[in-house]
Amino acid sequence: MRVVYRRAWYFLSFGAPGLLIYVCFVLVPILLSVGYSMTNYSLLRPGWTWVGLRNYELLLTDQAFLTSLRVTTILTVMVLVAPNLLGLAIAVLLDRRGWFYNAMRSVYFTPMVLSSVVVSVIWTRVLDDEGPLNQALRFLGVADPPGWLSDPDYALFSLGGIVSWQMLGFCVVVYLAGLQGVPNELAEAASIDGAGPWTRFRRITWPLLAPALTVNTVVLLITTFKIFDHVKVITNGGPGTGTTATVAFTIMQEGFVENHQGYASAMAVVMLVIIAVASVVALRVLQRREVQL
Amino acid sequence: MRRPLVTLAVTSVFFVPLYVALVNVVKPSALIPGAGAIALPIPPTLDNLSAVLTDPTNLFWASLANSVIVTTLSVIALTLLSAMLAHYLARTAGRWGRLITVLLLCGLMIPPQVILVPITQVLRAFGLMTTVQGLVLFNVGYYIPFGVFVFTGFLKGIPADLEEAAAIDGAGRGQAFWRIVFPLLRPATASVLIFLSVWIWNDFLSPLIILGPGQGTTVTTGIYRSLGQYSFDYGGVFALMFLSTLPVLIFYLALQKQFVKGLTGGATKG
């Protein structure tokens, strides 16, 4: 009896406080989201009716929602590829000792502590139609440089570039740590056996960086999927109709601007399912690669 | 010999936006639009900074106070609660412990947008919507999986015998934890403190929704509001951004080593 009492007290004092807040502010809201998604709940109207799966049916033909899925997919693919590739290249470049390389590293790390709002405002100036980038392009002889943020054909790609810039530092840190874990003896031995730099990278360094690739890819995936701040500050979903409206942005728009809380919840549930499946699949595939070594 | 030059060239390109962020703080607003964003600030001026610091609407100081309060309270509560919860999970074998761990792990990937609509209802039910306390509670719930995740990994390396020995000497479980185990968790505590401070300080969406337009701003929502308020005063916006980032930048420069160590903990374990 004393043991049971002590275990209960241990749970109540150590486990329960944190868990209770987590349950109230994360688990219950998720269940509420699922519940709301089957109603026509709106803050503008008292009461609500049960509508079953009607919201989900509407989503299937909702152009705005389908566009937001497309926008999010394009953004995610861009941000999965660019910071991973450039981050690896820069990490290889920076993988040397000394004050110079330390200083260079700090430059890449700085955007990690900047708020997305700050990053967004800076880039709005840089990519302005008459901004520094376009002036530089004109100087280089491009007669009619694109409106990076004002042209519907370019805005999404500019957004991808901005997010990639901000995430690059993270990938550099993680790859640098991975590179420092690659034993020099291996490269030297391969060198003696006549392997050139590319072969050494391809056969030794790259396979040993598998855990770093896993971390980067999963973090980039989860981060990009919920991109909201940059869209809100830079483009507000435009230019044109929803050309840069991500799923996360569209949910907030439906839930807090249009006040369609029920419908927004249905979108949220779909988003949750997609991100859960995507991260589990990514983790499985990438970790299998690690195990095979 | 080519490596330093290539490194310098690539890094300079990457640095351009950071240069823009710095240089426009001391440039007269009228010179910032268009290509002026990249020009050298000649002559430099402190007008932007002093205008923000003495702004009659008090946007900067009020936002700073809110951010300091929200970040400090959230991070202290998160560190204590997640260390205790992690201890409970690390010392509780069996299905019950595993179930809680899995539930918490799910929380690591949940986008805030998925839960914000119902969160506003939950907070309204408690009478905490548009309050600082509400925002702090949301932060604690949302980030506790991260804290638990970091602490649990660390706690596994600390033998339970240590606490049992203390218990024989007559210390209660709480005493044994705070006096003996918690000090040993210092590297994990550092990671949790650093990351959560930066994330919560920089968070934009939850203060935007939970504090709402009426109840003051944090630094991020303050900058967002200033975009409308000072729409052509770019110098003011850049000065506000600089001052709002300064605390977190100093924090980061001081703790850069731990910051990088914390980031790479998961990546190097093969």
Domains of chain A and any CATH numbers: 61-291 (1.10.3720.10)
CA distance B120 to chain A (A): 9
The verdict on A245 touching B (C-beta cutoff 8 Å) is: no
User: Given pLDDT bands bounded at 50, 70 and 90, which one contains residue A292?
Assistant: low
Interval A117-130: pLDDT, tens: 999 999 999 998 88
Mean pLDDT for all residues in chain A: 89
Interval B170-227: pLDDT, tens: 777 788 888 888 888 888 898 899 889 999 999 999 999 998 776 778 999 999 988 8
Quote the Cα angle for B202-B205-B206, to 5°: 90
Predicted confidence (pLDDT) at residue A290 exceeds the cutoff of 80: no
- For B2, the closest chain A residue by CA position comes to A93
Whether A33 sits inside 8 A of B6 (CB atoms) is: no
More confident residue, A252 or B266: A252
- Say if CB B86 and CB B151 are below 8 A apart: yes
More confident residue, B167 or A180: A180
Mean pLDDT for all residues in chain B: 87
Interval A6-45: pLDDT, tens: 888 888 888 889 999 999 999 999 999 999 999 988 878 8
Predicted confidence (pLDDT) at residue B243 exceeds the cutoff of 50: yes
The verdict on B259 touching A (C-beta cutoff 8 Å) is: yes
Size of interface A-B (CB pairs under 8 A): 261
CATH annotation of B51-264: 1.10.3720.10
* pLDDT value at residue B267: 45
Domain ranges of chain B: 51-264
Q: Token pair of A188, please?
A: 């030297």
User: Given pLDDT bands bounded at 50, 70 and 90, which one contains residue A241?
Assistant: confident
- Ranges A38-42, A49-53, B12-16, most confident: B12-16
d(CA B211, CA B207): 5
Interval A148-185: pLDDT, tens: 999 899 999 999 999 999 999 999 999 998 898 888 88
CA distance A287 to chain B (A): 10
Mean pLDDT (whole number) for A230-256: 91
- ipTM computed for the complex: 0.90
d(CA A143, CA A140): 9
Predicted confidence (pLDDT) at residue B90 exceeds the cutoff of 80: yes
Q: At what angle do helices A210-225 and A63-94 cross, to 10 degrees?
A: 150
Placement of tokens 């002889």 in the chain: A141
Long-range interactions of A187-192: CB distance < 8 A, separation 24+: none
d(CA A47, CA A190): 72
Predicted confidence (pLDDT) at residue B11 exceeds the cutoff of 90: yes
Predicted confidence (pLDDT) at residue A65 exceeds the cutoff of 70: yes
Whether A222 sits inside 8 A of B109 (CB atoms) is: yes
Whether A174 sits inside 8 A of B16 (CB atoms) is: no
- Range from A158-172, A185-199, B117-131, B237-251 carrying the lowest mean pLDDT: A185-199
